Amino acid sequence: MKIVAHVKLLPASAHDVDALAATLRACNRAANAASEVAFARDLKRRNVLQEAVYHRLKADFDLGAQPAVRVVKKVCDAYATLKANIRAGNLGKEDSKRRKRAEAKPIVFREDAAQPYDDRILTWNLDQKTVSIWTVAGRLKGIPFVCSDEAMKLLGSRKGESDLVTRDGMFFLIATIDVPEPEVCEPNGFLGVDLGIVNIATTSDGEIMCGRQVNRYRERQRGLRQKLRKKRTKSAMRRLRSRRRREARYATQRNHIIAKKLVTTAERTSRGIALEDLSCIRQRVTAKKDQRARLHSWAFAQLGQFVEYKARRAGVPVVRVDPRNTSRQCSQCWHTHRTNRVTQGRFECRSCGITMHADHNGSRNIAHRGDAAWQRGAVNRPRTA
């Protein structure tokens, strides 16, 4: 499986910073020129597009041979991704309009969009924690970088391309690493996980991972943004820019912690993980006005992705199940009725009389459905020798 390692570059001088920024601008302007040719002449394959624009990219945008090749590949990959997204899934009315708009004009790249590098134009020195990178101002050698210990271990097996990106005036390299994926084990039952807004995740073991702290943090950040926008001063705008993406980073960190905890529990108990299939949940759920911000800031998709990739690295199977009536069905006697869910946090079965936390009951139902789906063979089973 492929995972990424984030590395922060530490340019030593303003010249190096300007060179990296100018390189991104030149590469993305060249990508826009190549995209216009690809769209106008329908040249979406790499070899034919490269033959049409290669010499122009080198002459007009001051690119070297290999950077020009990487730009052409980036453009072709962008059109391939657009085509795959158009073909994937059932498109609704809004998606159809978006598809028509996307097909009616060439793809446009931002001037600070990521630029891929291969081993010919980017060299890693892991012992000294430096890189040598090509720029339009010449090759910059000995640029130091910093990263986590885990990322440093992953970089030892790095192969292929790395992307140069800029964010808030800083430069990063995002390296793609192939790590061995263990064979999925045969689970001894499933750990059901009920995802929610009030409680981010509740397991069938009864463990509740409360979302009160995240929700309070979001509300505090939202209030602060509103106050800063009302001031409309230069210092307020500067403060707003400095706080960009802080809320998203905080939620991402919390999701990583929760996902790691879920996978560790499942691996320790030799179980799989059952999650709700919450695709298109925002289109299916109607929220009150005061709840819309909380619903649309709910990062359930990211949490599910984190659980899936961490589970794949650990060899733990993950099953997606239908979430319908998981909050109304009794996990003890299977009686289903809307009045079973008394309040947001209380479940009382009208048939057998059992009482428990509503999210705990839902997670138990999800665990049962995950086990049933595995037994039916509705998911990929591990290979047997």
Rg from Cα positions in the chain: 25
Q: Is the pLDDT of residue 123 over 50?
A: yes
- In one letter, which amino acid is 105? K
Percent pLDDT > 70 in the chain is 89
Indicate if the alpha-carbon torsion angle 148, 149, 153, 156 is positive or negative. Answer: positive
pLDDT in tens, 69-106: 999 999 999 999 888 877 765 444 455 666 666 677 89
Give Cα 13 distance to the centre of its chain: 33
Q: Bridge-partner residues for 146, per DSSP? A: 8
What is the pLDDT, as a whole number, of residue 218? 76
pLDDT in tens, 239-296: 887 777 787 788 888 889 999 999 999 999 999 999 988 776 655 555 555 555 555 5
Q: How confident is the model at residue 385 (pLDDT cuts 50, 70, 90)?
A: very low
pLDDT in tens, 147-189: 999 899 989 888 888 999 998 889 999 998 888 888 888 899 9
Average pLDDT over residues 187-196: 91
Average pLDDT of the residues of the chain: 86
Average pLDDT over residues 38-66: 93
Nearest alpha carbon to residue 194 among 309, 347, 313: 347
Whole-angstrom distance, CA of residue 51 vs CA of residue 66? 14
Average pLDDT over residues 302-320: 91
pTM: 0.76
Strand duo 190-195 + 272-276: pairing: parallel
Contact 322, 277 (CB under 8 A): yes
Q: How confident is the model at residue 384 (pLDDT cuts 50, 70, 90)?
A: very low
Q: Bridge-partner residues for 192, per DSSP? A: 274
Average pLDDT over residues 342-347: 87
Q: How confident is the model at residue 217 (pLDDT cuts 50, 70, 90)?
A: confident
Q: Which two tokens stand for residue 179?
A: 């790590």
Q: Is the pLDDT of residue 140 over 90?
A: yes
Phi-psi region of 259 (alpha: psi -120 to 50; beta: other; left: phi over 0): alpha
What is the pLDDT, as a whole number, of residue 249? 83
